Amino acid sequence: MHIQTHSDVIDACRFCFMCRHLDTTGNVSFREADTPRGRALVLDRIRMNPQQLANPDFINAMYQSTLSAACRKHCVSHYDEAGLVLQARHDIVEQNLAPDAVSQLVQSIEQQFAPKLIGEGQDVLILSTHEDAFEHQFLHLTGKTVQMLHVNDTGKTPFVLGFWDQAKQMAQQITSLIKKSGCMTVVTNSPAAFDALKNDYPKWGIDWDGITIEHSSTYLARLVDAGKVTLSTNDQSVYYIDSDYLRNYNDIVTEPRQLLEQSGYQLKPFGTNPEESYALGEAAMVMDQLYPRLVELMLDRFKNMMDQAMDRIVTASPYTLRILRGAGIDVMSLEEALLASPANV
Ligand code: SF4
């Protein structure tokens, strides 16, 4: 079983309570099974008795995890509790035990997968996975002419749901198009897409041949530092919500905040614990589709953490932006915040 690759995590987490307060699902479900310890206990039983993998409650416990990796980040030994869940999901799929809703989601992503390359011959390629205005915002901020790659998914969603073969096939097609474009740098505003290309693809044997993969925040921060981009100035107070994929998977914490501060924003700390994830299930990719009730509970918790209902939020995660905006919360993407002029704020 693939979970055997993370036996050290099962051994360590099954007797440890230390990070239970950082599990995004556990904080709203109040179930022991929704903490790293609970999941490790479940997987310890499965490790000893593999047919128990078919238990629907155990399968549900694996898919309810947000994979925020806040526990891994703040664990003193950085035990890879999120990686353990990914391996468990991989086992579930390999044994044809995936819930119907999960299989149907992956099937739908595959059916809609039709990557489209637009433009040619530019150094920078913008990869966009959401129907948002990022390309125009990027052009506005940098003045650069770019080529674009539109995809509905980079393979990240099938991967986190345990469908690794499908994820790798999508990765191969996307990589071929990126290489065909002749670009030297790929920039994306999606932390999930960034993490897929930067970390997952190389693990799947993809060699970028010198192409740099960048999240828009680090790319823009460098242009600002070099004096090549001038930001509009604001004097508003905002709360920046970290993306799980930026902070907990890639240690990108400083650059988004630096950009906001260079643009004149005063940053206020959100919530009561800076180690917690407030990204509302971002790293699970489709949490709102699979477990809408859990996301509602996370939203209630988020609202309770706000100082006031009028607080203005900024996030680098298109997923978190969509969930917060859908709940009527005043929220901007990082790029929207950088482009906002005082008259519009
Ligand atoms: S991730 Fe670390 S802190 Fe959390 S349960 Fe495992 S060993 Fe304990």
pLDDT of 204-223, one tens digit each? 999 999 999 999 999 999 99
**In this predicted structure, what is the pLDDT of residue 133?**
77
pLDDT at 6 over 70: yes
Whether the CB-CB separation of 85 and 67 falls below 8 Å is answered with yes
Sheet architecture: strand order including 266-268: 266-268, 237-241, 313-315, 331-333
Q: What is the pLDDT of residues 230-270, one digit of tens each?
A: 888 888 999 999 999 999 999 999 999 999 999 999 999 99
- What is d(CA 253, CA 117) in angstroms, rounded to the nearest whole number? 31
pLDDT at 341 over 80: no
pLDDT at 318 over 70: yes
DSSP 199-217: IIHHHTT---TT-EEEEHH
- Nearest residue by C-alpha to atom 7 in ligand 1: 13
Whether the CB-CB separation of 78 and 48 falls below 8 Å is answered with no
pTM of the model: 0.95
Q: Which atom of ligand 1 is nearest to the CA of 35?
A: 5
Whether the CB-CB separation of 38 and 61 falls below 8 Å is answered with yes
pLDDT at 173 over 80: yes
**In this predicted structure, what is the pLDDT of residue 345?**
41
Q: What is the pLDDT of residues 50-68, one digit of tens each?
A: 999 999 999 999 999 999 9
Ligand 1 pocket residue status of 80, Cβ below 6 Å: no
Whether the CB-CB separation of 171 and 200 falls below 8 Å is answered with yes
State which of 13, 20, 34 you would mutate to test the pocket of ligand 1, scoring each by most atoms of that ligand within 8 A of its C-beta.
Answer: 13
Ligand 1 pocket residue status of 14, Cβ below 6 Å: no
**In this predicted structure, what is the pLDDT of residue 132?**
66
Ligand 1 pocket residue status of 71, Cβ below 6 Å: yes
pLDDT at 286 over 50: yes
